[in-house]
A = this chain, B = another copy of it.
Amino acid sequence: MTESPGDTTTAESGAGAAPGAGIDGPLAFQDPAYREAVVDLLGAIAYGEISAFERLSEDGRLAPTLEDKVAIGSMATAEFAHVGPLLDRMSELGADPYAAMAPFRSAIDLFHEHTAPSDWYEGLIKAFVGDGLANDFYREIAAYLDTGTRDLILASLEDSGHSRFVIDRVRSAIAADPRLGGRLALWGRRLMGEALTQAQRVAAERDALSALLAGGVDRPGLDLAAISRMFTRLTERHAERMAELGLDS
C-alpha cells in the first residue's frame, strides 16, 4: 500500500498529483473487482442524490416563504440532475443501475429516518452539512480512482451555489433568536454521528468498496494511518461548515 493524499486538499482539487491519477481506466476495468467497486460507489452516490432530492423537496413544505420554497426546490432539482449521468455510466459498465443502487437504500433511508428535520432550519442545515460531509467523503474516495470515474463523481458533487442561501438564512435566524444556535449546534453533531454510523455499516457490508480503499498490486490504497488522516480531514471540514453557519461543532 502506498501513501495517502496527505493532509492537503489534493483530493478535492482533483489535481494531477492525486493518487489515482496514474490509473489507466480501460486497464483498471479489466479487473472485475475494480469494476464492481466502481459500480458500487456510483450506485451509492446515485441513490444518495435521489434520496437527497426527495428529502429536499419535502423540506420545501416547511419553507416559511414562497422564495424559500423556490430556493430549496432549486437545490432539490440540482441534486436530481446528477442522477442521469451516473445511471448511464453504470449501464456502460455493464451493470443494472437499479440493482446497483439497491444495496445502499437501507443505510441511506435509515440516515434520513433518523435525521428527519423538525423545522425549516434543521432542514437547511441538513442540506448544507449532511450533503457537504457526503460530498467530502466521495471526493476523498474519488482520488483513488481512474480519471474518467473521478471526473464523473466530482461533476455530480458540484455545489450548485446554494450554500450562500443556507448560510444567510441560518445566520439571520440565529441573530434573531440566539437560543436557536444551541439547538442547531446539537443538530449538526447528530447529523455527523448518524452519517458515520451508516457509513461504517456500508463499509462493513460492501466488500468490494472496502477492498477498493485498501488498494491492490497495481493501485495505491489507504493504510490505517491514511484512513485516520482522512477522517481528520472530514471532521475538520465539517467544523468549518458549522463555523460558516455560526455554529459550534
Contacts and interface: CB of A to CB of B under 8 A. Distances in A.
Which of A53, A77, A81, A83 is the most central at the interface, judged by chain B CB atoms within 10 Å of its CB?
Answer: A77
A93 interface: no
A85 B144 CA distance: 40
Contact of A66 (B66, B70, B102): B102
The A interface is mostly helix, strand or loop, or mixed, namely: helix
A61 interface: yes
A73 B98 contact: no
Contacts of A83: 70, 73
Contact of A70 (B57, B87, B102): B87
Nearest to A78: B77
Contacts of A105: 66
Contact of A77 (B65, B66, B80, B98): B80
A54 interface: yes
Contacts of A66: 47, 50, 98, 101-102, 105
A76 B57 CA distance: 10
A229 interface: no
Interface residues of A, number: 25
Contacts of A102: 66
A74 B79 CA distance: 11
A29 to B, nearest CB: 25
Give the one of A50, A53, A73 with max B CB within 10 A: A73
A24 interface: no
A69 interface: yes
A67 interface: yes
A19 interface: no
A53 to B, nearest CB: 6
A58 interface: yes
Contacts of A80: 73-74, 76-77
Nearest to A46: B70
24 contacts: A47-B66, A50-B70, A50-B73, A53-B57, A53-B73, A54-B57, A54-B61, A54-B69, A54-B73, A57-B58, A57-B60, A57-B76, A58-B58, A66-B98, A66-B101, A66-B102, A67-B98, A70-B83, A70-B87, A74-B80, A76-B77, A76-B80, A77-B77, A77-B80
